[in-house]
Amino acid sequence: MSSEWTEREASESAVARLAEAGYPRLLARLLVLRGVENAEDAEAYFSPALRNLARPSQLPGVDVAAKTILDAVRRHAKIVVFGDYDCDGVCATAIFVKTLSALSCNVAPFLPERLTEGYGMTEASVARLLSEHPDAGLVVTVDNGINSVELVAGLRSRGIDVVVTDHHLPGETIPDCPVVNPKVAAPEALEWLCGAGVAFMVANEIVNRARAEGLYDGGSIGGPMLVLAGLATVTDTMPLKGQNRILVSEALKHFWRYAPNGLKELMIRSSRTGQQSPSSRDFGFLLGPRINAAGRLASGMEALKLLVSSDREEARELARGVDMRNTERKAVELAMTEDAIAKVVPGAPAQVIDIPDGHQGVAGIVAARLLEKMGASGTPVPVCVVVRGHGSARAPEGYNVRDALSETGDCLVRFGGHAAAGGLSLAEGRMDEFRRRFQAACAAQAAALRTACGSTMIDAWVRGRELSLDFVERLSNMEPFGEGNPEPVFAMRGVLLADVRSIGAEGRHLQVTFKGVDMPRAVWWNMGERADEMRRNAALPFDFMFTAAVSTYGERHVELRLISVKPTQAG
C-alpha cells in the first residue's frame, strides 16, 4: 500500500462558521472532522454532563430484568453473576456484585477461565458453575450470554432463572429469558454501550426500584458504578459519542472522588503524575492493561477482587499483585514480540507467526505490537499470532480480518471478531494451509484497498509554531479520545533532526528533538530500534506523523507522540 499521507476533507463552510464563533481555525477543522459543525453542537461536545445521561428505563428490557432480579432478592435466592475475564467483563461483574451486595443479597461472582474454558458460556464453564454453586437460583450474565441459547435453556431446565445482559451481536435466535442488549433493541443513543455500560443501566434501575419498594434505604452507590462503566467503555474501544462520551467524561472528572479503592490504588502505582484527573489514555494504557493482565496470565478473579474490595489496605495489596501481574505480562510480551519480529517474512501480504512456546493470553497484544511496528515502517499488513493452535489477528485500517478468517474454510475449528481484530482455533495439522489461505484473502483485500484509497489519512498538516502550549491545552478539552472520537493526528513536512536518543528501560523508546526554536520535542514509544537508522540519516529532512499532548514531566510543555516517520520526498 502507498505511504502517502492525505489530509481529510472538511466542510469549509462549517469550519468558517465555527471560526466566526471564536474557535481557532485549526481547532474548528478538527471539530468538523468529528461531526461538530455549529456553535451549539460544539458547546455540547465540550461540556458532556451527567444530567444528559439517558434514564435506565430507556433501554428496552431493563424493567423486566430488574423485576426478575429483585424477585430473587426478595426470596433470598442465591444470585450468580456470570462475567468475563477482560476489563469490560470484570468491570460489569463488579458493578452487579457491588449493587447486589448493597441490597444484602446472597451474590457470588463467576468468571470463566481463558485458557481452559474460553470466552463466555461454554459447556466447561457452565459445568464448573453448577459444581461450585449448586444452590444458584438466578444467573445474571454480563458482557456475554446473547449467543448462549442452548446453555441458557439448560440452566432454566434445572429450575435456575437467567437474565442476560450483553452488548454483542445476537445470532438468529436469542435466549428465552429476560434480555437487555442494545444490539437487540435500543434507541440510537444507547446502541454502543459496552457490557459494563449495560450493567450500569440495569444496576441503576435495580437500585431505583429497590428504594421505591422499601428494599434499600442506603446512600447513593452510583459513583463507583459510573467510574467502572467509563473505564470499560474506553478499554472495550466503544465509540465515544453521545451517551458513551458522557459516561467516560464524567468517570474521568470524578475518578478520585468515586473510583473503587482498588482502582485508586492501581492508578497511584501505575501513574507518576499524582492525583490529577486521569485521561482516557490513562484508562486505556494504564488501568485497562493491568486489569486485563490478570485474565491473560492467571484468573480474572484477581482483578475482580481488586475492584470490589472496600478495605483500603487490602486494596493496596491487591493493586500490588495486579501490577506485578502486568509486569509479568510485559516480560512475556517482549520475548514473544522479539520472536515474532524474527519470523516476519518481508513482502508477505499478511504475517502469520507461529510461536509454539508462547502464552496464548498474550498473543493478541503481540499481534498488535507487530502491526504497530510494521505500520511505522510503512508496511502495514494484517498480523496473526498463533500459540499452540490458538491465534489472535489484528489488521490495519481498511482491512477486514474477520472476512479474511471466514475464507480459510475448514482450517479453523472456530473463529470470531470484527474488522480490526479476530480470534481463532486451528484444526490440527492445518497451520501451513491456514497461512496460505489467510495470506491470499488479505492479498485480495490489499488489491481492493489500493484501488479504493492508497493513502493514510491525517487531520491536518501543521507547522511547529501552531502547536503552542495554549492550543494543545485546548485540544485536551476534546477528551475523552477513543473510538468514534479519535485523538487528532497531525503531520509536518521537511523537518530536520537535532538529536535522537534512546530512552526508557533497555532503550525501548526514542526521544527526538528538532532544529528550530518553535518545535516541540517528540517521543516514539516502543521504537528504540529505529535510533541508529535515524541518526545515520540525520542530515536529511523527514516527514513526521504524530499526536500532540501536554506533558507534566518537569515544566509543562508540548510533547509530540510519533506515529510514523518517513524521508521527505523531493519535489
Domain membership of residue 38 (yes or no) is: no
For residue 455, what pLDDT is reported? Answer: 67
Distance CA 112, CA 103 (A): 25
Domain boundary among 261, 290, 325: 325
Q: Is there a single domain that holds both residue 311 and residue 411?
A: no
* CATH number of the domain within which 368 lies: 3.10.310.30
Contact present, 142 and 199 (Cβ < 8 Å): yes
Contact present, 193 and 203 (Cβ < 8 Å): no
Q: Is there a single domain that holds both residue 159 and residue 286?
A: yes
Give CA separation, 223 vs 99, 133, 253, 260, 365, in Å.
11, 30, 11, 9, 31
Q: Is there a single domain that holds both residue 307 and residue 390?
A: no
Domain membership of residue 153 (yes or no) is: yes
**Residue 432 C-beta-side C-alpha neighbours within 13 Å:** 1
Give the containing element (helix H, strand E) for 209. Answer: helix 195-212
Sign of the torsion angle spanned by Cα atoms 133, 134, 135, 139:
positive
With CA atoms as reference, report the closest residue to 512 among 487, 530, 494. Answer: 530
Residues in the chain with pLDDT < 50? 1-2, 453
With CA atoms as reference, report the closest residue to 371 among 422, 416, 432. Answer: 422
Domain boundary among 404, 428, 453: 453
For residue 505, what pLDDT is reported? Answer: 77
For residue 571, what pLDDT is reported? Answer: 54
For residue 283, the 8-state DSSP code is I
Those residues with Cβ within 8 angstroms of residue 219's Cβ, 6 or more apart along the chain or in another chain: none
Domain membership of residue 164 (yes or no) is: yes
Distance CA 294, CA 558 (A): 34
Q: Is there a single domain that holds both residue 371 and residue 307?
A: no
CA angle, 79 then 83 then 86, to 5°: 160
C-alpha cell at 559: 510533547
Contact present, 267 and 321 (Cβ < 8 Å): no
Q: Is there a single domain that holds both residue 124 and residue 78?
A: yes
Q: Strand 136-142 and strand 161-165: pairing?
A: parallel
Q: Where are the alpha helices (DSSP H) in 462-538?
A: 469-475, 531-536
With CA atoms as reference, report the closest residue to 478 among 4, 28, 17. Answer: 28
Those residues with Cβ within 8 angstroms of residue 367's Cβ, 6 or more apart along the chain or in another chain: 353, 383, 384, 385, 392, 393, 394
Domain membership of residue 36 (yes or no) is: no
Contact present, 329 and 323 (Cβ < 8 Å): no
Q: Is there a single domain that holds both residue 317 and residue 361?
A: no
Give the pLDDT confidence of 117-157 residue by residue, as tens digits: 888 899 999 999 999 999 999 999 999 999 999 999 999 99
Q: Is there a single domain that holds both residue 275 and residue 372?
A: no
- pTM of the prediction? 0.83
Q: Chain-wide mean pLDDT for the chain?
A: 91
Contact present, 401 and 421 (Cβ < 8 Å): yes
Residue type, 105: C
Domain membership of residue 28 (yes or no) is: no
Domain membership of residue 8 (yes or no) is: no
For residue 543, what pLDDT is reported? Answer: 93
Q: Is there a single domain that holds both residue 108 and residue 247?
A: yes
Q: Is there a single domain that holds both residue 446 and residue 483?
A: no
Domain membership of residue 318 (yes or no) is: yes
Domain boundary among 389, 422, 453: 453
Domain membership of residue 560 (yes or no) is: yes
Bridge-partner residues for 383, per DSSP? 351, 394
Residue type, 457: M
For residue 389, the 8-state DSSP code is T
Q: Is there a single domain that holds both residue 241 and residue 109?
A: yes
Q: Is there a single domain that holds both residue 165 and residue 150?
A: yes
Give the pLDDT confidence of 45-59 residue by residue, as tens digits: 898 888 889 999 999
Q: Is there a single domain that holds both residue 420 and residue 504?
A: no
How many Å separate Cα 275 from the centre of its chain?
A: 23
Length of the chain measured in residues: 571
* CATH number of the domain within which 248 lies: 3.90.1640.30
* CATH number of the domain within which 473 lies: 2.40.50.140
Strands (E), 242-338: none
What is the domain extent for residue 276?
Answer: 52-325
Q: Strand 460-461 and strand 521-524: pairing?
A: unpaired
For residue 2, what pLDDT is reported? Answer: 40
Domain count, the chain: 3
Query: Backbone dihedral region of 327: left (phi > 0), alpha (psi from -120 to 50 degrees) or beta?
Result: alpha
Sign of the torsion angle spanned by Cα atoms 1, 421, 425, 301:
positive
**Residue 127 C-beta-side C-alpha neighbours within 13 Å:** 5
C-beta neighbour count of 126 within 10 angstroms: 21
Give the pLDDT confidence of 185-194 residue by residue, as tens digits: 999 889 999 9
